[in-house]
Amino acid sequence: MAEIKRIAVLTSGGDAPGMNAAIRAVVRTSLAEGIDVFGITNGYEGLISGEIMPLSRRSVSNLLQRGGTFLKTSRCESFEHEAGRKRAADVLKEWNIDGLVVIGGDGSFHGAHALYLEQKTNVIGIPGTIDNDIYGTDLTIGYDTAVSTALDSIDKIRDTAASHNRLFIVEVMGRHAGFIALESGICGGAEEILVPETKKTMEDLGGLIKTWARTGKTSSLIVVAEGDELGNAHDIAKEIHTRFHIDCHVCVLGHTQRGGSPTSTDRLLASRLGYHSVLALKDGKTDIMVGWMNNAISYVPLPETWEKKKPLDEELLKIYRILSL
User: Is the residue at 318 inside a domain?
Assistant: no
User: Which of 295-318 are b and which e, b meaning 16 or more Cβ less than 10 Å from the residue's Cβ?
Assistant: eebeebebeebbeeebebeeeebe
Residues 104 and 154 placed together within one structural domain of the fold: no
Whether 191 and 79 map to the same domain: the answer is no
What share of the chain in percent tops pLDDT 90? 75
Judge if 190 and 118 occupy the same domain: no
Query: Max CA-CA distance within the chain?
Result: 71
Shared-domain flag, residues 115 and 14 = yes
Q: Please tell me whether residues 70 and 155 are part of one structural domain.
A: no
Same domain for 127 and 266? Answer: yes
- Answer whether residue 289 is part of any domain: yes
> How many domains, the chain?
2
Task: Say if 74 falls within a structural domain.
Answer: yes
The reported pLDDT for the residue numbered 215 is: 76
Residues 230 and 174 in one domain: yes
**Residue range of the domain that includes 102:** 6-142+262-307
What crossing angle do the helices spanning 264-282 and 143-164 adopt, rounded to 10°? 160
CATH number at residue 40: 3.40.50.450
Q: Is the pLDDT of residue 297 over 90?
A: yes
Residue 6: its pLDDT value, please? Answer: 97
Residue type, 114: A
Q: Is the torsion defined by CA of 219, 196, 300, 76 positive or negative?
A: negative
- 152 within 8 A of 205, measured Cβ to Cβ: no
Q: Judge whether residue 31 has pLDDT over 80.
A: yes
CB 220 within 8 A of CB 212: yes
Confidence of residue 1 (pLDDT cuts 50, 70, 90): low
Predicted confidence (pLDDT) per residue in 211-265, tens digit:
887 777 777 899 999 999 998 999 999 998 898 888 888 999 989 999 899 999 9
Among 15, 98, 106, 131, the active-site one is: 131
For residue 279, CA distances in Å to 5, 28, 297 come to: 12, 12, 12
Would 193 be classed as within a structural domain?
A: yes
Mean pLDDT of the chain: 92
* 296 lies in some domain: yes
What pLDDT score was predicted for residue 247? 84
Domain stops at, among 224, 258, 292: 258
DSSP per-residue letters across 267-314: HHHHHHHHHHHHHHHHTT--SEEEEEETTEEEEEEHHHHHHSPPPP-H
State residue 290's pLDDT score. 98
Q: How far apart are CA 304 and CA 301, in angstroms?
A: 6
Q: Please determine, for residue 312, whether its predicted confidence score (pLDDT) is greater than 90.
A: yes
- Establish if 316 belongs to a structural domain: no
Share of the chain above pLDDT 70, in %: 100
Average pLDDT over residues 186-193: 92
Residue 100 sits in the same domain as residue 202: no
Kind of pairing between the strands at 167-172 and 192-194: unpaired
In a domain, 293, yes or no: yes
pLDDT 10s digits, 120-163 = 999 999 999 999 999 999 999 999 999 999 999 999 998 888 88
* Chain segment 87-106, per-residue pLDDT in tens: 999 999 999 999 999 999 98
Query: Does the pLDDT at position 117 exceed 70?
Result: yes
Length of the chain: 325
Same domain for 268 and 248, yes or no, is no
Kindly state whether residue 320 falls inside one of the protein's structural domains: no
The CATH number of whichever domain residue 229 belongs to comes to 3.40.50.460
Mark whether 11 and 137 lie in a shared domain: yes
- Given a cut of 90, whether residue 167 has pLDDT beyond it is no
Half-sphere exposure of 14 (CA within 13 A, CB side): 23
The model's pLDDT over 32-85, given as tens digits with 9 standing for 90+, comes to 999 999 999 999 999 999 999 999 999 999 999 999 999 999 887 788 888 999
* Same domain (yes/no): 75, 223: no
Active site residue 131: yes
For the packed helices 179-187 and 314-323, what is the interaxial angle rounded to 10 degrees?
40
Residues 280-298: what's their mean pLDDT?
96
Q: 169 with 292, same domain? A: no
